[in-house]
Structure formats: C-alpha cells, structure tokens
Amino acid sequence: MLTYLLRRATMAMVVMVIVSVICFILSNVASDPAMGIAGAQATDEDLAVIREAYGLDRPLPVRYVEYVGGLLQGDFGTSYLSKRPALDMIWERLPVTALLAALSMALALAIAVPLGCAAAVWPNTIIDRLAQLMAVTGQAIPNFWAGLLLIVVFGVQLRWLPISGSATWAHFVLPSITLGTFAMPPLMRLIRAGMIEVLAADYIRTARAMGIRPFQLTFKYALKNAVLPVISLAAVQLGFMLGGSIVVESIFALNGVGYLAWQSMSRSDMPVIQAIVLLISMIYIVLTLLADLLNGVMDPRLRTSRK
C-alpha cells in the first residue's frame, strides 16, 4: 500500500510540473499580457512601461524558473490587478465553489442512486425508460440553458428564489440544481449498469434463495459492489465541478473560483490563472487518489492486486 501511495504521489508531482509548464506557456503566448493589464486603449509606450514594471520584458524561460522557484516556497504569484497574492484570492472564493460543488454532488447522488437502482431492479420497464429519459435529457441540456430556464421560471415568473448573488442559502438552490442535473446522468447510468451486472451474480441469487428481503438485497448486498466505479466517477465529477463551474458561477453571479478564473482569463491576469489551474489539478489528483484508496478499503481484491 505504501509503495502504491508513493508511486501515486510521484506521478502526481510529474503531472503538476507538466500542468505548470503548459499553463505558463499557454497563458503567455495566447495574448499579450501587457495589454491585458494596460487595457485596449494603451499606447505602445504604455505597454513598454507595463512590460518593464511587471517584468514581462524578460525571456520566458527566466520567468518560468522564477515562477517555479516561487512555487517551491509556496508563493503562487501575485495578481497583476489587485497586487494581492493569488492564493489569498482563491482561498477567499473557494468556500462558495466548494459549497456549490458539494450541494450539486449531493443532489446528483440523491437522484442518481435510487433512480439507477430502480432502473436496474426493473430493467426495460416504464421506470427504466423514464430514468433513461431523465438521464438523456439531463445530459443533453447545456447547463447555461438549464440555468437560464430556472431563472426565468423560478426567479422572474414565480419569484420563489433569488436569481443571482450568494448572500443566503436560497441563492445556492438554482445553481446547485443546474450543476447537479449536469453531473447526475453519468452517475445514474453507471449505477444502473453496475447494478444489473451485480444483480445477475451468483451470490445475489444465493442471497435471494435464502430469502433476504428485496430492499435489503438491493441496497445492502448489491449496491455496495455496484458503487465502486461510482466513487471514482464522483471524484472526477467533483473535480470537474470545482474547475468547471465557470459557466454556472457566471450565470448566477456567484463569486467563486470558477468566476475568478474566467475573469482572470479575460484580463490576462496570469498569476491568478496559473494558481487556479495548479490548485484545481492538485485537487483533482488528490480526489482521484482518495477515490482509489476508498475503493481499496471497500474492495479487498483491489488491495491485493495493487501490492
């Protein structure tokens, strides 16, 4: 187990280095960062001053080495715009994004698990078809569309819920539904497929023959085994939500990391973009690692095969 952990940690480091190089190069060559800072009206002289003031006139490799040097000391860079440490700006906004992601994931699982189980227990029935329809619909509707539809119905027309901002818990309802319905379909499908497979297994037939009640059979005996791949997928989905909630955060004016990322990109605030990308990839790696460990705990076979 320890070797496995060490190997994963080394891999994670390599991935991080690759991510940092790609991110650094892309954000520097995509557009002129000096113009992002100085604004479109800037003259050539303004740009020259800005380049010098922000050290952008030096060669890319020199800046990269400096950047990595800072990273090793825990310095993720300073925002060009606010002159504040990028990490501080992210920490401030992380709670909003984390809450949104957690609520959305909870909602997605709350729908996906019972629905997936029901579809598997009664395959090819009306229940199964309805569940599949929900999954296809959920996946086919882009989340910005779903978000705006919810805004129109529940915000403008019915006035039940606030449309934008993050002041109260009510502000999180519509965004969580939007993001949750987007994450739900693959989870539901995976549970359905896993359950169908498990329910056909010998031990379930035996259990059934022994007179275990169907409810217990489904949720205690079958689900435990069907849920393993779901944990891995949910971890990836959670990572995706943290990084990919850009659209939802911008629609609902939630001041989270996703919106910060979008904002920083449109203003070429590179240190912040780089810090976000690195942090998100770190979270991704940690989540995947945790999911693997959790799978190992739940399924002894995985532990032995990975020694």
Partner 1 sequence: MMEFRNLTRILPLCATLLAGTALAAPAFAGPEDQSITIGMGEDFPTLDGYINTARDGVVITMHINDMLIYRNPKTFEYEPLLATAWERIDDKTIEFKLREGVTFHDGSPLTAEDVAFTYNYWADPANGARVQASVSWIDRAEVVDEYTVRVISKTAAPAALEFVAGSLPIYPSDYFESVGAEAFGQKPIGAGPYKVESFGDGLVKLVAHESYYEGGAKRTPSITTVNWRIIPDTATRIAEVIGGGVDWVWNVPSDQVEQLKVVPTLDVALASTLRIAMVTLDAAGRTGDNPLTDVRVRQAVNHAIDRETIVANLVGGDGEVINAPCHPVQFGCEQSAAVVYDYNPEKAKELLAEAGHADGFSVKIGSYRDRARAEAVQSYLAAVGITAELEMLQASPSFSGWREGKVGMWYGDWGSQSLADSSASIGSMFDGSSNDGARDETVIALVKEAAAVSDPEERKAKYAEAIKIITEQAYWVPMHTIVMGYAYTNTLNFEPTLDELPRFYDASWQ
Amino acid at 125: T
Please identify which residue in 7, 9, 25, 31 interacts with partner 1, judged by CB under 8 A: 31
Does residue 112 touch partner 1 according to CB under 8 A?
no
Place of tokens 């009206």: 41
What is the amino acid identity at position 59? Answer: P
Q: Is 201 left (phi over 0), alpha (psi -120 to 50) or beta?
A: beta
Show the binding pattern over residues 265-294: x = contacts partner 1 (CB under 8 A), - = does not.
xxxx--------------------------
Residue among 14, 74, 83, 168 that touches partner 1 (CB under 8 A): 83
Q: By three-state DSSP, how is residue 85 classified?
A: strand
Residue 259: closest CA among 28, 88, 272: 272
Q: How many CB atoms are closer than 10 A to CB 37?
A: 21
Pick 143 or 295: Cβ nearer partner 1: 143
Q: What is the DSSP letter of 78?
A: B
Indicate whether 88 belongs to the interface with partner 1 (CB under 8 A): no
Q: How far is the CB of 144 from partner 1 (least distance, A)?
A: 6
User: Measured from the CB atom, is 144 or 203 closer to partner 1?
Assistant: 144
The two structure tokens encoding residue 33:
């960062």
56 binds partner 1 (CB under 8 A): no
The answer to the question of residue 39 lying near partner 1 (CB under 8 A) is yes
Quote the least distance from Cβ 258 to partner 1, whole Å.
Answer: 11
CB 167 within 8 A of CB 191: no
d(CA 123, CA 150): 31
Nearest Cα neighbor of 105 from 220, 227, 239 is 239
- Binding status of residue 41 toward partner 1 by CB under 8 A: yes
Q: Which stretches of the chain are DSSP H helices?
A: 2-29, 33-38, 44-53, 60-72, 86-121, 126-140, 143-150, 173-199, 202-209, 214-216, 223-226, 228-244, 246-251, 257-266, 270-298, 300-305
Kindly write out the interface string for residues 219-258 of this chain, putting x where it contacts partner 1 by CB under 8 A and - elsewhere: ----------------------------x--xxxx-x---
Site residues for partner 1, 160-189, by CB under 8 A, read 162-167
> Which residues have C-beta within 8 Å of that of residue 196, sequence separation ≥ 6?
120, 123
With CB under 8 A as the rule, give the number of residues binding partner 1: 56
Site for partner 1 in 89-108 (CB under 8 A): 89
140 binds partner 1 (CB under 8 A): no
**Residue 10 interacts with partner 1 (CB under 8 A)?**
no
C-beta of 18 vs 29, nearer to partner 1: 29
Tell which one of 91, 106, 142, 224 touches partner 1 (CB under 8 A): 142
Question: Would you tell me which residues interact with partner 1 (CB under 8 A)?
Answer: 30-32, 35-46, 49-50, 52-54, 79, 81-84, 89, 142, 144-145, 148-149, 151-152, 155-157, 159, 162-167, 247, 250-253, 255, 259, 262-263, 265-268
